[in-house]
Amino acid sequence: MAKKILTYVTVVIGFGLAGYLLYHTFREYSASEIVDSVKAIPIVNLLAAFGFAFGSYLCLTGFDWAGVRYVKNDLAYPKIALASFVALSIGQSVGLAGLSSGGLRYRYYAHWGMSTEDVAKIVLLSGVTVGLGMTVLSGIVLIVNPKDAASVLRMGEGVTRAIGFACFAATAGYLALAAFLRTPLKVRAWTFQMPTLRIAVAQVVIGTINFALVSACLREVMAATADVSYLKAATAFVLANLAILITHAPGGLGVLEATVRHVMGDQASIGSLVAFRVIYFFIPFFIGLPLAVIVEGIFRAKKAKAAVALGASA
């Protein structure tokens, strides 16, 4: 009960913070100015941003693929892709992705014969893949572009680079554990069996490419109205995700926009921020939601048909 109350309180605080940050970010602009700013983005840039967003969601199916193979299940990729897209297109928008997308994953994978333990492991490994991808991309931007990160984090460039190298060291440590450690890691009552080196390498590669594509999507909508380097856009995205982790705002709403605006300044037009939110979050959500309803209807129809068949044979 206490855990449920804490979850509700976290959601309320998150939405409140998101609302404040959105107001703070957009308060100087009228609705017509925001619409005009979005319209100023050329169709070519929007199409490229859509392409990068599609590539990212394709990579996200790889997160689940690695998890399914980790539990030694041979579920077909189309089913994995369906569960991944529906779960993440909804989970990334409503917030508390570990709970919302985890619940949807359980619904699908359990229907296809997986145990609760296997689904929990898939969700856990997907979370690790997220961390690995963000860690590697963070290492790249902190080492190659320490100036922007240092100005936001208010620390020296040398310290920023050191953190970047630490990110690579942590990733290398994970791969080393996957290569040589075969006994489960134990932390109190919690145990975690390391994946094989092949799966661990796939996690690092897929996770990094995913966040690189999201950064490219963000850069594309900003580059339409300003000379924005990919590296600076990636830096803004990394720092925005750090802020999202700290604040727990639902879907990063408001936090992402405020952080990117702070890092990029006028290079991040209001239209580009709105376009990125629509392309990467809203459109997948409004595809995933009806898709989830359709799949749920199919599941229920199959269950009813099986019950009728069982009753007829009894």
Give the span between the Cα atoms of 233 and 243, in whole angstroms.
Answer: 15
Radius of gyration (Cα) for the chain, nearest Å? 21
Greater model confidence, 4 or 113: 113
Q: Is the pLDDT of residue 306 over 70?
A: yes
Residue 160 has pLDDT above 50, yes or no: yes
pLDDT in tens, 289-302: 899 989 888 888 88
3-state SS class at 190: strand
Name which of 300, 168, 144 is nearest 232 in CA terms: 144
Q: What is the DSSP letter of 206?
A: H
Interval 112-147: pLDDT, tens: 999 988 998 999 999 999 999 999 999 999 999 888
Higher pLDDT, 247 or 173: 173
Burial of 51 (0-12, 13-18, 19+ CB in 10 A): middle
For the ranges 40-44, 185-189, 284-288, 305-309, the lowest mean pLDDT is seen at 185-189
The CA dihedral of 44, 49, 52, 56, to the nearest 10 degrees, is -160
Average per-residue pLDDT in the chain?
A: 83
State the average pLDDT over residues 18-46: 66
Domain boundaries, the chain: 2-305
> What number of CA atoms fall less than 13 Å from residue 27's CA on the CB side?
8
For tokens 């990125």, the residue is: 276
Q: Which distant-in-sequence residues (6+ apart) come within 8 Å of 289 by Cβ?
A: 89, 90
pLDDT (mean) for 143-160: 85
